[in-house]
Amino acid sequence: MKKIILVLSLICLASPAMAGKLVLKGSTTVLPIAQKATEAYMALHPDTVITLSGGGSGNGIKAIIDGTATIGNSSRFIKDKEVKQAVDQNAYPVPHRIAIDCIVPIIHKNNPVSDLSKEKLRDIYTGKITNWKDVGGPDMKIVVISRDSSSGTFDAWKELVLDGERVTPAALTQPSNGGLVTQISGTKGAIGYIALGYINTDVKVVSVDGIKGSEQTAKNGRYTISRPLFMFTAGWPEGETLDFINFILSPKGQALVKEAGSITLY
């Protein structure tokens, strides 16, 4: 009898720790933010166990619908089809805007081009325009550099600039943001794109349709190559999940958003 009481009390003691378990899944764009946030959150709440994985926005939303994750990270809003699926399964997806993603085109420092329209950018990336002289620059071949197809930045670029069209097969690819900046700073005819947080003085940022991508223009919506990043929950978050979302939205969490290279909400 004593043993049973002991076991029961142990279970009672253990249960608060058991409740503190979060599973995050989804977009690779949100991943760096989620990574920093989970690390900081677990440091504050040592009892909480958080597992974090990528897999893409679609998988993140799917995971909260079928209950395999508590939070689904997504770099896009939920689609109508997914809402219907969720409601059919009695899960009501709730979006939480946690950050803004802003992507800017960058070129070599000595390139005189300073503005490109979205159409021109699209034509460059689909391979219709191949020389800088067609967009008001010198007679020089355009070296199109893209990110690898699995990168979240690539995803956003494709959606916001290419309208879903394919990037030309002649585009060079870079596995990392750092490599991209190095390559562009050393290649005269190069053009690439990068999240705002990663630019440095070695490269030149091109404005799009006359508007330069910055924290301000992304926040007020005038710069169009930007998008909100979401964390979805099934139903209004409670307990630990609510705590976690509140943490990301707090000034401390938003500082981590900035560290991860994205733009804060406020």
**120/158 with CB nearer other proteins:** 158
Minimum CB–partner distance for residue 54 and other proteins (Å) = 7
Give the span between the Cα atoms of 105 and 135, in whole angstroms: 14
Nearest approach, Cβ of residue 149 and other proteins (Å): 4
Q: Other CB atoms closer than 10 Å to residue 48's CB: what's the count?
A: 18
Largest CA distance in the chain: 89
d(CA 212, CA 96): 27
CB atoms within 10 A of CB 248: 24
Residue 188 backbone phi and psi in degrees, to 5: -60, -40
Q: Choose between 48 and 73: whose C-beta lies nearer to other proteins.
A: 73
Enumerate binding residues for other proteins (CB under 8 A). 28, 54-56, 59, 140-143, 148-151, 154-155, 158, 164, 166, 169-175, 182-183, 186-190
Nearest to 244 by CA among 102, 57, 44: 44
- Name the one residue in this structure whose structure tokens are 């733009």: 263
Q: Please report, as a single letter, which amino acid is at residue 166.
A: R
- Shortest distance, position 172 Cβ to other proteins, whole Å: 5
Q: How far is the CB of 191 from other proteins (least distance, A)?
A: 11
Closest contact distance (angstroms) between CB of 13 and other proteins is: 36
182/214 with CB nearer other proteins: 182
- C-alpha to C-alpha distance for 48 and 45, rounded to whole angstroms: 6
Strand extents, DSSP E, 6-118: 21-26, 49-55, 71-74, 93-108, 115-116
Closest CB 178 distance from other proteins, rounded Å: 12
> Of 155 and 240, which has the nearer Cβ to other proteins?
155
Cβ proximity to other proteins, 35 vs 187, nearer residue: 187
Residue among 144 and 249 whose Cβ is closer to other proteins:
144
